[in-house]
Amino acid sequence: MPKPVVILGVFVADTAYRAERPPRMGETILGNSFALGPGGKGSNQAVAAARAGAETHFVSRLGRDPFADMALATWAEAGVHPAVTQVDDGYTGAAYIFIEEATGNNAIIICPGVAGDIAPADLDAHADLIRGAGVFMTQLEQPLDAARHGLRMAREAGVTTILNPAPAADLPEGMLALCDYATPNESETEALTGMAVTGPDDAAHAAAALRDLGVGTAIVTLGENGVFFDDGARSAHLPALSAGPVVETTGAGDAFNGGFAAALAEGMDPLDAVRFGNATAAISVTRPGTAPSMPSRAEIDALLAAG
């Protein structure tokens, strides 16, 4: 029986606008469509991990408002177990997502609301859950000290730790050394290492630099160019998979991380877990939205079997 995946992070409501281009400052443009749905990197990852088959617990904070109701309904549908504090004096956050019509690529502003107040005490309240996990994963949409506290607590209990360092931030000394895995994209890798990453060759050098900074295994995600993996003993470029035409790339990184964490918790070899994460992401980009685009385990297995 695999141990659970525990994820610390943020839920926000995604407000997604599709248009030919973003507006310039002072300009109003007509968009093509609008959608409101569940988002937030941590919550998206939790939905992806649960739909991929992992027992998944999500540590976070919500307000008491319609967006909080959306969060609870999303987790109930996906089978995510909330380890969440609801507070009265603040709002559940939201994200503005611009989606470029021609490519499906995005630009995002996130306001985490009460999840921006997540503190080490939120982790302490679920210490037994974290210490009993197979995998603990977090991102950087909530305060850094909470992320670091969770990683440390998990690491000290022998739990496998994953940091998805998104959005990019200056990390405190020693934080990367708490990470068995770090999964930055190109720009996050550049922020951490100072090395520009435009493809697999750059990623190989940057992955080695991440390992020098203390990361156990560096996994640099490269969008349509796949993933570069380096654990010190093995390094490999794993191309992206295709599951059909790309509709929207928002949440693809979350799909990868959720699938990867679920696979690791099952005891898959890390390179196979990366392939599993790639398949999860490949399916998610064929659908609109973030959390709603996460595939089921049967869909992931079918894509891997077809490849």
Residue 211 within binding range of ligand RIB, rule CB under 6 A: no
Question: Taking CB under 6 A as the criterion, which residues in 86-105 touch ligand RIB?
Answer: 95
Which span sits near ligand RIB by CB under 6 A: 33-41, 47-55, 57-65, 121-129? Answer: 33-41
Residue 14 within binding range of ligand RIB, rule CB under 6 A: yes
Among candidates 95, 83, 75, 209, which has minimal Cα distance to 136? Answer: 83
**What would you report as the CA-atom Rg of the chain, rounded to the nearest whole angstrom?**
18
Which span sits near ligand RIB by CB under 6 A: 38-46, 51-59, 147-155, 226-234? Answer: 38-46
Residue 255 within binding range of ligand RIB, rule CB under 6 A: no
Residue 280 within binding range of ligand RIB, rule CB under 6 A: no
The residue nearest ligand RIB at its CB is: 39
Least Å distance between CB 111 and ligand RIB? 10
State the number of binding residues for ligand RIB (CB under 6 A): 15
Least Å distance between CB 122 and ligand RIB? 18
DSSP the chain: -PPPEEEE---EEEEEEEESSPPPTT-----SEEEEEEE-HHHHHHHHHHHTT--EEEEEEE-SSHHHHHHHHHHHHHTEEEEEEE-SSS-EEEEEEEEETTT--EEEEEEEEGGGG--HHHHHTTHHHHHT-SEEEE-SSS-HHHHHHHHHHHHHTT-EEEE---S--PPPTTSGGG-SEE---HHHHHHHHS---SSHHHHHHHHHHHHHTT-SEEEEE-GGG-EEEE-SS-EEEEPPP--S-----TTHHHHHHHHHHHHHHTT--HHHHHHHHHHHHHHHTTSSSSGGGPPPHHHHHHHHHH-
- Among the options 122, 230, 254, 269, which is catalytic? 254
Of 243 and 252, nearer to ligand RIB (C-beta) is 252
Residue 250 within binding range of ligand RIB, rule CB under 6 A: yes
Residue 40 within binding range of ligand RIB, rule CB under 6 A: yes
In whole angstroms, how far apart are CA 224 and each of 186, 192, 238? 12, 21, 11
Residue 150 within binding range of ligand RIB, rule CB under 6 A: no
Stretch 104-143: interaction string toward ligand RIB, x if CB under 6 A = ----x-x------------------------------x--
The yes-or-no answer on residue 14 being catalytic is no
Of 112 and 270, nearer to ligand RIB (C-beta) is 112
Least Å distance between CB 306 and ligand RIB? 26
Of 44 and 193, nearer to ligand RIB (C-beta) is 44
Of 92 and 290, nearer to ligand RIB (C-beta) is 290
Give burial (CB, 10 Å; 0-12/13-18/19+) of 108.
middle
User: Which residues are designated catalytic?
Assistant: 254
Write out the residues near ligand RIB by the rule CB under 6 A: 12, 14, 39-41, 44, 95, 108, 110, 141, 250-251, 253-254, 290
